[in-house]
Structure 1
C-alpha cells in the first residue's frame, strides 16, 4: 500500500491520489515539471487496472503493450511539497491501434494544476509494430469515455 486513499472511478473519470514528497520537488518546494509525467503514468496504469486491463495481462494474453506516442502538458499552477493531488484519467477517443486520454492533475483547493493530452499506441511486444486493440480492451476503453465531455479547464 502506498499510504494514499484508494483510487476511485466514476462518471468524471478515474481518480488516483498522489502525495507530493520532498524527492518530487525542487529547492523551493515546487514539483519539478517532469514529475507530472510520472504522476500521469501512475494514474493511467491504475485506470487501466481498475477497468480490468492491467498492462501485464495485455502483454501476457495478447503479446501487446501501450507506448506513449504523444503527450502535451499545460502547466497551470504549481503543485507543492506535501500536497495531496488527484490524477483524473478519462478516455477521449479509441481508434484502431491507439487511444487518446485526457488527464488532469488537480488540487482540492487550487483546482487543475496541469492538463495532459496523451495518445497511447498499441504495439506488439516482440516487434514494436502498431497492432489493433483487442476487442475486449477496445470495449473497456470505450466504457471509460465520459457520457458528456466537460469543457477543457
Structure 2
C-alpha cells in the first residue's frame, strides 16, 4: 500500500533490548510493534476496550498474523507504524499494517481478528456500530464493509 493509504500512524523508537548482535530488530518484535500500534488505533477509534469487551462477554481474538520483511529496522530508529482496517467478514475483521522509517517501507503485515462469545468460544457477528465507526475512520465504501 502507499503510505498515504493509512489514516493512522503510531511512532515507536527501537530499543536496545529489541535488536540482535548486528543491531537490527529481531524478527519477532515486529508483531509486538504491530500490537502496540493496533492498540493505539483501537484507542483512537473510541470503541470498547478489551476490558469493556470482556465485561460484555464478547471479545476480539487474534486469528491470523503475517509479516513480510522488506528491510530491517535498527537500534534507535523512530518507526512510523500505519494501521488500516481493510475488510470485514461476518464475524471477523482484517487490518493491514506497515512499518516505515521516514519514506522507506520496511515491513508489511496483516492481523485478522474474530469477534467471539467468550463463554462459547464461538464467533458472533461483528457489531454494526463498530462497522460504522471503522467505515467512518477509514472511509471504506459501504459495499466493501
Q: TM-score range by the shorter chain?
A: 0.7 to 0.9
State whether structure 2 residue 118 is matched by structure 1 residue 128: no
Higher normalized helix content (fraction of residues) = 2
More displaced, 29-38 or 68-77? 68-77
SS at match of 2:123: coil
Give 5+ residue unaligned stretches, structure 1: 1-9, 149-153
The equivalent of 2:52 in structure 1 is: 57
Root-mean-square deviation over aligned CA pairs: 1.9
TM-score normalised to structure 1 length: 0.81
Give 5+ residue unaligned stretches, structure 2: none
The equivalent of 1:78 in structure 2 is: 72
SS at match of 2:83: strand
Kindly state the Cα deviation for residue 123 of structure 1 after the two structures are TM-superposed: 1.4
Q: Moved runs in structure 1, 4+ residues, more than 6 A? A: none
Number of corresponding residues: 137
Q: What CA distance in whole angstroms lies between the structure 1 residues aligned with 2:17 and 2:59?
A: 29
TM-score normalised to structure 2 length: 0.85
SS at match of 2:59: strand
